Structure formats: structure tokens, C-alpha cells
Amino acid sequence: MMIYKLTALAFLILTPLFAMIVTSLLRLNKKRLKFPDVALFLFAIEIVLVSGKFFTHNLLPYYLIIMSLLAIVISLLLVVRTQSFSYHRFMKLFWRVGFLVTFIFYLILVIFVFTLA
């Protein structure tokens, strides 16, 4: 069981590193994609894999609820501040803040995994 815990911890370091390598090799910077854009998908997949291995229920529904609430909050903030809604601005803001939320969610998941007996 310890090898799975170490794998979950290694994902924390290897995912951003892998995302940086992919964005530089595929030259995604020219398409205005940065490494958090790639790492978001990877961290979301890792949340499903790690939570499925260590817990009886997968944490994907909780993650999706958090991301949905984030989308609602960002939408309301954009409409209240500017009195208009720009889909491009929403997606850019949602994607970048979503990466931070996903990274923190995965970090908390790894901490919970290491506190299990």
C-alpha cells in the first residue's frame, strides 16, 4: 500500500513537470496554452485514480461540485463587475482558477492518503 502512496506523491511533482515538457515540445505556447492548461486534465484524472484506490467512493462528484460552484461564482463576478458577460474572458479565468482549485484538491487528497493507517 505504501507504493501507491508514494506514487500519489510522485504525481504531485511529475504532473507539472510532464505538462511543461509537453507544452515546450509541442510548442503549445504559440497557441497560447500554458502548462496549467495541460496539467488540469492530468490532475483531474489523477484525482479519479488516487481516490478510487484509497477510498470506498470516488471523489470525482465532489470535485465536479466544486468546479461547478467555481463556474457560478466566476460568472456572477463577471456579470456584476462589468455588466456584461464575455465567454472568452470567462473560460480563461475559469481555466486558470480551476487549475489552482484542482491542484489544491489533489494536494489535500494526497495529505488524506498519507494520514490513512
Domain layout of the chain by residue ranges: 2-115
Between CA 80 and CA 53 the distance in angstroms is 42
Q: Find the mean pLDDT for residues 10-36.
A: 88
Between CA 36 and CA 70 the distance in angstroms is 17
Between CA 8 and CA 66 the distance in angstroms is 21
**Is the pLDDT confidence value at 117 over 70?**
no
pLDDT, tens digit (0-9, with 9 covering 90-100), for 54-99: 999 999 999 999 999 999 999 999 999 988 889 999 999 999 999 9
User: Nearest to residue 70, comparing CAs of 86, 43, 54, 91?
Assistant: 91
Query: DSSP 3-state assignment of 85?
Result: coil
Cell of 41: 486534465
pTM for this prediction:
0.88
